[in-house]
Amino acid sequence: MKTAFDKRKYQEDAVQALFELWDAGQKPLLVSPAGSGKTVILAKAVKEIVEVRDHMACVLVLVHTESILKQTRDTFLACGIDPELIGILKAGVEGDAVAQIQIASVQTMSRRKVRPASGYVLFDEAHHIASCSWAAIAKDYPRARLAGFTATPERLDGKSLKEFYSTLYEVAKKSELEREGRLVPPEVFTWEKGVSLDGVRSVRGDYNNGELSKAMNRPNLIGDAVDHYKRRAKGKRAVVFCVSILHAEATVAAFVAGGVKAEIAHGGMNTRARDKLLGAGGRLSKGETKVVVTCQLVSEGWDLPKLECVVMMRPTKSRSLFEQQVGRGARAWGKKTSYTVLDHAGNYRRLDVGLGVDPVYSLEEGYENRGDGKCPTKVCRTSWCGMLLPISVQVCPTCGFEFDMRTKEMIVAEGELVRMRAAAEADMEVCIARIIWAGIPPEEAKAEAARVIAGRYAGYV
Ligand SMILES: [Zn+2]
């Protein structure tokens, strides 16, 4: 059966590679960036098993949460898998015990003593495998062909996945997917110093949630996030990642008070309520709600290509969590050529994330912080801009701030103070216009421009 997914060559390649790795006795971890169709690759692998390689084989597909079960099944059907072959194992449902393909949530599987017989065990969101229940399930299938699928090959606590997988296969690079027009790059705004997290302790490789919530749940920080959204991303569909429910509630209230249509999405929502807000035909998609505030609910297994902005208010030390969150906005859609990231958490600087370069993965370390291929960054210095730029950029594309002093050097070479002043005045006008364009109220723009120009021509005017 021909489907819309057939054109994706890298997905076919990944499926072939998977079988070659299995034939060689490997337990592969397939890394596929957010937005690259990870579940489609999973579906194609399953289809290949039951239709081509091994008609009698039973396949067990494990997903992280029950909310992903239906999505996974839908993708399997869209890829042309016979619905009669698919059984669902979840709480309160007997399921079709004889179905050849079982899709199960990990919670359900770890509660049930009886395991379906399976020659193939495929873990979706495979970076969770190290949690006890995942590991226990994997141990019950010593003879099965095992593989993991993930966008972020690092456990949330930063530990290695090496004890569960034997090799890592990179399905596609972000840059390739961007060139193909499947993903769009982020336009990042961040803050050089980031937020002060003095006194917030670390637990299992990331910040203590309670202490972090206190540090972030401050009216000025939340107010800043609302201001920046209105200035940088007004009217765009956004998701805001918070630390705790309390933090999320305060944040949603501030957005609403600021005249932005905002709603909270939390773990207690049932599938129907969730769909009505976050689904393809939901309020966020339709633009009835512009901003959805959440803790971790939508950082995985949720895709809305129409999303145009990600606001990070949850500082993290986990590159994996960071990538899960930031990746939500990366799907291409319509005329979207980039998406906006407002990093109030200072995550880009803390995690030293390069711009416009592909992350380098390893099974041992998850994300390798290797020097090669890494692009150092700097933050635009005008107080109101904060755009994250590659170190080589000389003029900020957003506000026009000039990092090198070319203007100054040129004028000094001419040695004419009068011309210098004229140049500064001309620059001043351009600068004011740019500042107003960037969303600063006109009454503040002049003073801000004066500061920029004073810096640019320091000692010469
Ligand atoms: Zn700038």
pLDDT digits (tens, 9 = 90+) for 410-429: 443 333 444 455 556 667 77
- The Å distance, Cα 180 to ligand 1 centre, comes to 29
- The Å distance, Cα 340 to ligand 1 centre, comes to 14
- The Å distance, Cα 182 to ligand 1 centre, comes to 28
pLDDT of residue 266: 86
Average pLDDT over the chain, rounded to an integer: 83
- The Å distance, Cα 246 to ligand 1 centre, comes to 33
> Between the ranges 57-66, 101-110, 258-267, where is the mean pLDDT highest?
258-267
What are the structure tokens assigned to 134, written together?
């995942």
- The Å distance, Cα 440 to ligand 1 centre, comes to 13
pLDDT band for position 130 (cuts 50, 70, 90): low
According to DSSP, the residues that pair with 367 across neighbouring strands are 361
Q: What are phi and psi of 389, to 5 degrees?
A: -130, 150
Answer yes or no: pTM beyond 0.85: no
Residue written as tokens 């337990």?
27
Q: Tell me which of 3.40.605.10, 1.10.10.10, 3.30.1180.10, 3.40.50.300 is the CATH number of domain 186-355.
A: 3.40.50.300
Count of CA atoms in the C-beta half-sphere (13 A) of 127 = 28
- The Å distance, Cα 318 to ligand 1 centre, comes to 27
Phi-psi region of 262 (alpha: psi -120 to 50; beta: other; left: phi over 0): beta
pLDDT digits (tens, 9 = 90+) for 84-99: 999 988 877 766 778 8
- The Å distance, Cα 437 to ligand 1 centre, comes to 12
**What string of DSSP letters covers 39-102?**
HHHHHHHHHHIIIII-TT--EEEEESSHHHHHHHHHHHHHTT--GGGEEEE-TT----TT-SEE
pLDDT of residue 424: 65
Q: Is 310 helix (H, G, I), strand (E, B) or coil?
A: strand
- The Å distance, Cα 403 to ligand 1 centre, comes to 10
Average pLDDT for 41-54: 94
- The Å distance, Cα 383 to ligand 1 centre, comes to 9
Higher-confidence position of 113 and 323: 323
Average pLDDT for 134-148: 87
Phi-psi region of 158 (alpha: psi -120 to 50; beta: other; left: phi over 0): left
For the chain, what are the domain ranges?
4-178, 186-355, 406-456
- The Å distance, Cα 456 to ligand 1 centre, comes to 14
Q: Is 350 helix (H, G, I), strand (E, B) or coil?
A: helix
Same fold, 4-178 and 186-355: yes
Distances 31 to 281, 327, 413 between C-alpha atoms, Å: 29, 14, 54
User: Lowest-confidence range among 94-98, 117-121, 289-293, 326-330?
Assistant: 94-98
> Between the ranges 171-175, 253-257, 393-397, where is the mean pLDDT highest?
253-257
- The Å distance, Cα 408 to ligand 1 centre, comes to 19
pLDDT of residue 4: 43
pLDDT band for position 205 (cuts 50, 70, 90): confident
pLDDT digits (tens, 9 = 90+) for 153-165: 887 666 678 888 9
Average pLDDT for 242-259: 95
- The Å distance, Cα 399 to ligand 1 centre, comes to 4
pLDDT at 303 over 80: no
What are the structure tokens assigned to 65, written together?
């949460």
- The Å distance, Cα 47 to ligand 1 centre, comes to 49
- The Å distance, Cα 382 to ligand 1 centre, comes to 6
pLDDT digits (tens, 9 = 90+) for 334-392: 999 999 999 999 998 888 887 777 888 888 777 776 544 566 788 887 767 888 888 77
- Burial-class residue 247 by CB neighbours within 10 Å (0-12, 13-18, 19+): buried
Q: Tell me which of 3.20.20.105, 3.60.15.10, 3.40.50.300, 3.30.70.260 is the CATH number of domain 4-178.
A: 3.40.50.300
- The Å distance, Cα 436 to ligand 1 centre, comes to 13
pLDDT band for position 51 (cuts 50, 70, 90): very high
- The Å distance, Cα 350 to ligand 1 centre, comes to 20
pLDDT of residue 302: 76
- The Å distance, Cα 18 to ligand 1 centre, comes to 45
pLDDT band for position 306 (cuts 50, 70, 90): very high
- The Å distance, Cα 380 to ligand 1 centre, comes to 5
- The Å distance, Cα 189 to ligand 1 centre, comes to 9
Identity of the amino acid at 357: V
- The Å distance, Cα 387 to ligand 1 centre, comes to 5
